[in-house]
Amino acid sequence: MFKMLAVPAAVCVLLAFGCEKKVEDPIAKIPTTAPSAAKGPGDVLEHLQYSIIREDPAHLKAFVPPDNSLALGTTQWFHRDAGYYGLGLTSDEINALGVQPLVEAGYISDKFTSRSFNDAREGRRALEPGIELVNEYKLDMPVLPKSLGEKKIEDLNKQLSDALEKDIPAAYAAGLYRRLKAIPDEGWAMLRATLGSNPNKAYKDLVLKTGDEIIVTVTVGEGDNGTVYITAFQHEKSPRKLAEMFPKPQAAGETKEAPKQ
């Protein structure tokens, strides 16, 4: 009896080692080349996944609204919210997007966001070289306070419009890409899309979620020529919460940092 049982047991051990399941990497499933043009709201997710995971920010120019006024407003809103959340751009991303003129004009930066600037000014972080050059009424395209006066606000808004209109698609893509950066790559690879309802019948909401948990709502419009554009991007979770939900896998031998007190 002992000998008869020993053979199957050994076979089982060999099978366990030989047939061990490999953990699938969801990021590996994301295409390495740009998807074909989106034909409807349901196609948008794969474009966002590709753009952020494959680091192709300029691809997002395809989703700029066709209406000039809407494009300008959406672009400003993207950058303003990205600044509030502390989501910046690296110098490489700025070059890839072609938005260096906006950096030179003081609207975006590879060193500061409106959040890091305000944190430094209010003593929550150390002052950094170059911060004295930041224009708080330009960085990340904020809503201007009425205390500036009507004429000053009008002048600053005109300067912003002129700067954005030099290359609206690039400025728009830069703002949207900053918003995408709130979600780690691991999170983007796991997101699934469903269509939600929008009170404005001209638009559709693309609800991005993992399981039953909504992560982002993207408002999408469809142009007369069949193009698809994005007019809003609403995080349902803060970037800090998203980083906790989708932690980056640790490399072998890597140790976790102790949480800051």
Q: What 8-state DSSP symbol labels residue 249? A: P
Residue with tokens 């753009």: 51
What are the φ and ψ backbone dihedral angles of 203, each rounded to 5 degrees?
-125, 160
Strand partners, 217: 207, 234
Q: What 8-state DSSP symbol labels residue 148? A: G
Residue 85 lies inside a defined structural domain of this protein: yes
Token representation of residue 174: 């830069």
Q: Which domain holds residue 59?
A: 25-245
Model pLDDT, residue 259? 35
**Residue 48 contacts residue 188 (beta carbons within 8 Å):** yes
Provide the pLDDT confidence category of residue 28 given band limits of 50, 70 and 90: confident
Number of domains in the chain: 1
Strands (E), the chain: 192-196, 203-210, 213-222, 228-235
Residue 158 lies inside a defined structural domain of this protein: yes
Model pLDDT, residue 22? 54
Residue 16 lies inside a defined structural domain of this protein: no
* pLDDT of 9 higher than 70: no
Model pLDDT, residue 142? 96
Model pLDDT, residue 254? 46
* pLDDT of 119 higher than 60: yes
Residue 18 lies inside a defined structural domain of this protein: no
Residue 17 lies inside a defined structural domain of this protein: no
- Which of the pair, 235 or 225, is modelled with greater confidence? 235
Provide the pLDDT confidence category of residue 1 given band limits of 50, 70 and 90: very low
Residue 212 lies inside a defined structural domain of this protein: yes
Reduced to 3 states, what is the DSSP secondary structure of residue 195? Answer: strand
Provide the pLDDT confidence category of residue 101 given band limits of 50, 70 and 90: very high
The interaxial angle of helices 168-180 and 68-85, nearest 10 deg, is 40
Model pLDDT, residue 249? 67
Model pLDDT, residue 255? 44
Provide the pLDDT confidence category of residue 250 given band limits of 50, 70 and 90: low
Once rounded to an integer, what is the mean pLDDT over residues 54-67?
96
Instruction: Identify how many contiguous H helices and E strands the chain contains and give both numbers.
Output: 10, 4
CA triple 82-127-121, angle to 5 deg = 65
| Closest of 245, 227, 248 to residue 237, by C-alpha | 245
Write out pLDDT tens, residues 191-234: 999 998 889 888 999 999 998 899 999 999 998 888 899 999 99
Ordered alpha helix ranges (H), 58-167: 68-85, 91-97, 100-104, 114-121, 150-165
* pLDDT of 13 higher than 70: no
Residue 250 lies inside a defined structural domain of this protein: no
Q: How far apart are CA 140 and CA 113, in angstroms?
A: 7
Q: What 8-state DSSP symbol labels residue 65? A: -
Residue 6 lies inside a defined structural domain of this protein: no
**Residue 134 contacts residue 106 (beta carbons within 8 Å):** yes
Which amino acid makes up residue 113? T
Token representation of residue 144: 């201007």
**Residue 45 contacts residue 204 (beta carbons within 8 Å):** no
